[in-house]
Amino acid sequence: MSEKLVGIVSPSIDNLLSKPEIASKYELVIFASKRARQINDYYSALQDGHLFQVVGPLVDTTINEKPLTIALKEIDQNKLAKKTL
């Protein structure tokens, strides 16, 4: 019965919002959604054979993890840096 909760519970929102590059919850949503789209494009490229055009997940993943969960893990583990204009 002690099932590990994953997804939006892990990593916690409080940890993600405490990151220095994340100023607000809205910025977190935009940052994570852009990365999740890149991860989704990577999985699509795997099927098409165009592996070198998109960067895949930067953290260990399982088969059942969604791209948004992977993106949140990457942010939590400081694997991503925001590009400033």
Contact (Cβ atoms closer than 8 angstroms) between residue 14 and residue 28: no
Q: How far apart are CA 75 and CA 33, in angstroms?
A: 11
**Domain boundary assignment for the chain:** 13-76
> What's the pLDDT band for 5 if we cut at 50, 70, 90?
low
* Average pLDDT of span 27-48: 88
More confident of the two residues 62 and 72: 72
What is the per-residue pLDDT across 63-74, written as a single tens digit (0 to 9) for each? 888 889 899 999
pLDDT at 78 over 70: yes
